[in-house]
């Protein structure tokens, strides 16, 4: 069993949390408890996936505290794991370009996919920085006994 998850920042729960604080200062304690507890429960969220190689199942989920939203489903025979570079950009119709990233940062993100032999063709797993996606891709490849296609640079290369 392999599990990967990362913290996910959602804005709507923070709005509920702030609204709960406003109700608290307004001495509306019932509303403060309702909105504050909803905001607190859903602001702590994780997004991830689990792969059960023995049973051939995958689960992509959102986790709020201990509550998982997502179910197990079978996936076809895996062919390989691929890590691809995607560019972060704004819409092409806007006159102002995307601001340049901070020094030492990149305007690129990387996406990890599990390529399968079936109608679906691939299962999108997660996004992140380059080294993290490559190391997680290698872990998944070892679990499923497949290879990793590194497409993070202009040259494609296979990793074992």
List strand residue ranges (DSSP E) for 53-107, in order. 57-64, 67-69, 73-74, 78-87
State the pairing for strand pair 108-116/2-8.
unpaired
C-alpha–C-alpha distance, residues 28 and 40, integer Å: 18
Q: Is residue 157 within a helix (H) or strand (E), and if so which, with residue range?
A: strand 157-159
C-alpha–C-alpha distance, residues 117 and 85, integer Å: 22
Strand-pair partners of 4: 49
| Residue corresponding to tokens 């794991």 | 81
pLDDT in tens, the chain (160 residues): 899 999 887 788 888 889 999 999 998 999 999 998 888 888 878 899 999 999 989 999 998 878 889 999 998 899 999 999 887 654 555 555 555 555 655 567 899 999 999 888 999 999 888 899 999 999 999 999 999 999 888 888 998 7
């Amino acid at each position: 069993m392999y599990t990967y998850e990362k913290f996910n920042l959602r804005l709507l729960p923070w709005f509920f949390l702030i609204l709960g604080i406003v109700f608290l200062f307004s001495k509306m304690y019932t509303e403060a408890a309702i909105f504050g507890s909803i905001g607190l429960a859903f602001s702590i969220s994780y997004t991830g996936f689990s792969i059960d190689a023995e049973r051939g199942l995958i689960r992509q989920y959102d986790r709020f505290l201990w509550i998982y939203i997502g179910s197990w489903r079978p996936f076809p025979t895996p062919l390989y794991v691929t890590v691809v570079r995607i560019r972060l950009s704004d819409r092409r119709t806007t006159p102002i370009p995307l601001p340049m990233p901070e020094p030492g940062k990149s305007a690129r993100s990387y996406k990890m996919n599990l390529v399968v032999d079936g109608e679906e063709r691939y299962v999108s797993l997660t996004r992140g920085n380059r080294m993290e996606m490559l190391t997680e891709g290698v872990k998944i490849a070892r679990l499923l006994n497949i290879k990793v296609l590194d497409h993070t640079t202009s040259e494609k290369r296979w990793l074992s």
